[in-house]
Amino acid sequence: MSTTGANADPLAALGALPGVAESVESVRKAVDRVYGHRIMRRRSNEITSEAALRGVRGSAALSGADWALEEVRRRSDFSGDDEARAVGAALRLTAEAGQLLSIWRQSPLRVLARLHLVAAATDADDVGRPRRQGEPVDEPLVGLPLPDAEEAHGRLDGLAELVTVGGSAPALVTAAVVHGELLALRPFTSHNGLVARAAERIVLVGSGLDPKSVCPAEVGHAELGRAAYLAALDGYVSGTPEGMAAWIDHCGKAVALGARESTAVCEALQRGAA
């Protein structure tokens, strides 16, 4: 996504695309429903913890580790194989994301580097920095053409500028663009999908749309399915108004489904069943 041109606020321009305002309003209503639940007034910390765990499961599923929620809940060793490592990375990212909220608006590139470091959990030379020319990318579930390192660096800088400058765009639009751009660029040699979804969460929480982090978009992305996720991402990468609007709508539906999940948790707690 380019930050150049006559429009000084390209994210706000995306917010004006046909159908996007309706997506934004639908998300707001879904978020308001869960925040208005009376259980949230007394047990919001429990809802936040449960939402985090369900978000971990959803993000890991989109990276190829489609585990049952109870398996994620009970496991303590995540070093056994690729799936276990993906779940472990998602857990670490969720725990770390809350610590980075205050840094995001001032230094998004620093936050992204930290997220990659946490996800990879190694001291390899390619960890915690954007990939260099010729370095391969391990992201087998995203089959889009890979921008070269120079293009990725330039667009990553442009994304950081959009975040730091801010603007009038709704939180959903900003979160969707951050998520989509990171998946399109795959700026790191690994774990780009997990990092992109963690960054989306940071935007949604830090913007004030979901301040208690109880509407995990990762749950919705997983529920909508990987095929729909990748098809919507194709729309984002196309750069067409229709494609961009479809991606933002997809992300909005994911947030709304995350809110619905936490509303169900609230209902279960109210019934004394959880």
What average pLDDT is seen over the chain?
Answer: 94
Return phi, psi of residue 138, to 5°: -95, 90
The owner of tokens 């001032």 is 106
Q: In this predicted model, what pLDDT tens digit does every residue of 212-243 receive, in sequence order?
A: 999 999 999 999 999 999 999 999 999 999 99
pLDDT of residue 7: 52
pLDDT score of 2: 46
The confidence score (pLDDT) of residue 8 equals: 64
Tell me what the mean pLDDT of segment 166-193 comes to: 97
How many C-beta atoms lie closer than 10 Å to residue 99's C-beta? Answer: 11
* Cβ(112)–Cβ(182) below 8 Å: yes
- Asked if residues 84 and 77 have their Cβ atoms less than 8 Å apart, the reply is yes
pLDDT in tens, 128-163: 999 999 999 999 889 999 999 999 999 999 999 999
Query: How many angstroms separate the most distant Cα atoms in the chain?
Result: 56
Q: Is the pLDDT of residue 4 over 70?
A: no
pLDDT at 273 exceeding the cut of 80: no
Specify the pLDDT at position 209.
97
pTM of the entire predicted model: 0.95
For the stretch 15-19, contacts whose Cβ atoms lie closer than 8 Å and that sit 24 or more positions apart, written own/partner, are 15/168, 15/169, 15/170, 15/173, 17/241, 17/244, 17/245, 17/248, 18/241, 18/245, 19/245, 19/249
